[in-house]
Amino acid sequence: MMKNLSISKVQISIGNLYFIFLLITALFTRSFMGFRIFGFRLGELLVAFGLFSCFLYVLSQFYNKKLSNQFFIIFNLFLAYFLIVIFLTNGSLVSLYTYKSSSFIWMIGYYFLTTIYFQKIKFSILHIISAGSIPLIIYIFNSGNYPDFIINFFKANSDKFQFNKGSDVLIAFVFVCVLFGNGLIKKEYFMIYFNLMGFLLLPLFLTLSRASFFSCILYILLLNLNEYKFIISKGKYSFYILLASILLFIISSIRLAGLPELESRSEEPIIFIQESITEVVERKNTNKFLSFYFCENRLCSEDNTLDWRLDIWSDLIVDQINKEQLLIGFGFNEIFEIMKDPTAPGRLGREGLNEHVHNHIFTIVGRMGLIGLFLYSLLQFKLFAMNSTKKILFFIFPLFLVTMFDTTMESVQFPILYYTILGFRTKVL
């Protein structure tokens, strides 16, 4: 009995430390991931720890003889296919780039950590206040009030300082809402927090990233529609919340409009185009629908940034078809060849170091082909199904949407919070 009690206290302590780590990750994102430890960046060590957690989970299932578990079977098929891709593409299991480019696989390890330790936390008012304040602090910091001493601290101790990206702000907000929406606070308090904070953040999202802006709008809409019976039952109370939310949105918009330097923090890539796409469409008298049209044997857009991404995705698939790699992918040996195309200025990004295609689905297809995408999709659907909260998709779908236009799941901070969200309120595997 004493031994079990001691183990329980250790798990609770680890859970609390993990909780603090998650809050710091949500608040400082990429800057925090860049800390140097033993010659490695913290983000690199976290990927390695995720990999270790994945294989520890596999070994534990074998040890406990839970080999018929559906998730275990799918997960092992996915890992086996990863090894097959490495073999077929002449990859290397001792190359650090292999694990860097496949980090989206190993970050699943944080799902296992969440189901074991995070749910052991005995949430107190301190947990609630500290978590609930994170989106507000992010808003204050990233709307012209980021303390200089924190910026200088990261510049001195991290490989880089970076303001929060729109996708990172979104998942921090969703992370807190998942905690609150799972019974940590009363539903009426949750709806107040959700709407007021959501409308406050919307102008910041619009400044940072259109994908995160539309994802947040969708998130607010879906969750309110899901709770429409509760909203109607509160009558005037709900109306007052709506008015307060709109007022906050207006104040936030006016405040951010007075900070033109925020435009330089946008995560949208700089596109170098000699002739505007609108002029091309008009000159060629091309039929278009909702700013989309066909050109150069692919789907194009009048929006330069979206067209930049569409061009990359199209080139990736065409390159895979031409090289007969669409089924199994190019593997994890190096940057995609199409990203190094000298005739496509802008693909390497502002610093000339970008190697991402800005779409999680196309990243998986590029690395592991259509077979890998199928297995990965099965894995994700199984994770959704195992969550005890049936409305988990209301929280996950906006995050999934933003991954279609950004490098979110290829980072470290985003998938850690993502898999914590999925693992919260899920039975221990």
The whole-number pLDDT of residue 27 equals 96
Q: 170 by DSSP, 3-state: which?
A: helix
Residue at 157: amino acid letter: N
The whole-number pLDDT of residue 55 equals 93
Cα gap 250→367, rounded to integer Å: 44
The pTM of the full predicted model, rounded to 2 decimals, is: 0.89
**Residues 143-186: tens digit of each pLDDT:** 888 999 999 999 999 998 999 999 999 999 999 999 998 888 89
- Identify the H or E element spanning 233: helix 228-233
Lowest mean pLDDT among 75-84, 85-94, 350-359: 350-359
**Residues 333-382: tens digit of each pLDDT:** 999 988 886 655 567 666 666 788 989 999 999 999 999 999 999 999 99
- Which position has the token pair 């990261």? 154
The whole-number pLDDT of residue 196 equals 96
Is residue 426's pLDDT more than 50?
yes
The whole-number pLDDT of residue 10 equals 80
What is the mean predicted confidence (pLDDT) over 132-146?
93
pLDDT band at 1 (very low <50, low <70, confident <90, very high): very low
**Residues 313-342: tens digit of each pLDDT:** 999 999 999 999 999 999 999 999 888 866
SS (H, E, C) 59-77: HHHHHCCCCCCHHHHHHHH
**Residues 197-237: tens digit of each pLDDT:** 999 999 999 999 889 999 999 999 999 998 889 999 988 88
The whole-number pLDDT of residue 392 equals 79
Across the chain, what does the average pLDDT equal? 86
Lowest mean pLDDT among 85-94, 112-121, 307-316, 337-346: 337-346
Cα gap 304→100, rounded to integer Å: 29
Is residue 15's pLDDT more than 80?
yes
User: Quick one: what percent of the chain has pLDDT higher than 90?
Assistant: 57
pLDDT band at 425 (very low <50, low <70, confident <90, very high): confident
Contact between residue 99 and residue 47 where contact means Cβ atoms under 8 Å apart: yes
What is the mean predicted confidence (pLDDT) over 400-409?
90
**Residues 248-297: tens digit of each pLDDT:** 999 999 988 877 665 555 555 555 444 444 554 444 445 565 567 777 77
Neighbouring C-alpha atoms within 13 Å toward the C-beta of 390 = 1
What is the mean predicted confidence (pLDDT) over 383-388?
82
SS (H, E, C) 307-372: HHHHHHHHHHHHHHHHCCCCCCCCCCCCCCHHHHCCCCCCCCCCCCCCCCCCCHHHHHHHHHHHHH
Alpha helices in 89-186 (DSSP H): 96-101, 103-106, 109-116, 125-140, 148-157, 166-179
The whole-number pLDDT of residue 147 equals 92
The whole-number pLDDT of residue 273 equals 46
* Tokens read off for 201: 């953040």
Return the number of other C-beta atoms located less than 10 Å from residue 328's C-beta: 19
The whole-number pLDDT of residue 253 equals 93
Burial class (CB in 10 A: 0-12, 13-18, 19+), 271: middle
- Domain limits, the chain: 2-269+358-423, 277-340
CA distances, 299 to each of 54, 98, 289, 303 (Å): 38, 32, 11, 12
Q: 301 by DSSP, 3-state: which?
A: strand
- Identify the H or E element spanning 298: strand 298-301
What is the mean predicted confidence (pLDDT) over 47-72?
89
